[in-house]
Amino acid sequence: MKFIPFFLYLLLIGMHQVIWREMTSIYGASINLPALIVLAVALYKSELAAVWFGFVVGIVLAVNPGMLGWQALALALLGLLAYHAREKLNLESLYTKLLLVFAGILLHNISASIIQAGLKFYQLWLNILTGSIYTAVIALIFFLFKDGIITVKKIKSIF
């Protein structure tokens, strides 16, 4: 029973990579949903769950079989770093959570770019930074709903 949410997260990641990735990209900037979900697991679950889930997501993400271990290692390390950063930070603040997620997404985007093709300067602005900002906006919406700042009842009261 404990693994059902993780299976659903993996299903969501797989569907995003195959179906929705191109539909949700804006001028080359795309949502880094795998890293966002790994960071969310690291923020709300245990250290072991963050590391093994990051490893499994890295295996699911690897398009090139030669890079399978590097993606798994990068996401497991991202989950581990985010968990330990969570222990040191005050996560009551929405801004702190958002900064942690933005830094993690930026770190993962840079490492994924280096793993896949080597870092080129023009990619830093076009894909890496803009994709990190785009994912941080999605994370902000998630945190607003998760913390109860925005609810369905409040949205219905506006209309």
Task: Name residue, tokens 């993690």.
Answer: 104
What pLDDT was estimated at residue 81?
A: 96
Tokens in use for 25?
């990209």
> d(Cα 87, Cα 91) in Å, to the nearest integer?
9
When pLDDT is averaged across residues 73-82 and rounded to a whole number, the result is 95
DSSP lists the bridge partners of residue 26 as 29
Contacts of 64 (CB under 8 A, 6+ apart): 116
DSSP-derived 3-state class of residue 29: strand
Q: Is 91 or 80 the better-scoring residue by pLDDT?
A: 80
Alpha helices in the chain (DSSP H): 4-15, 21-24, 33-44, 47-61, 68-88, 94-117, 121-123, 130-146, 152-158
Domain ranges of the chain: 4-158
When pLDDT is averaged across residues 14-26 and rounded to a whole number, the result is 89
pLDDT band at 80 (very low <50, low <70, confident <90, very high): very high
pLDDT band at 64 (very low <50, low <70, confident <90, very high): confident
Q: Are 91 and 43 in contact (CB under 8 A)?
A: yes
Task: Name residue, tokens 């969570």.
Answer: 86
pLDDT of 72 > 70? The answer is yes
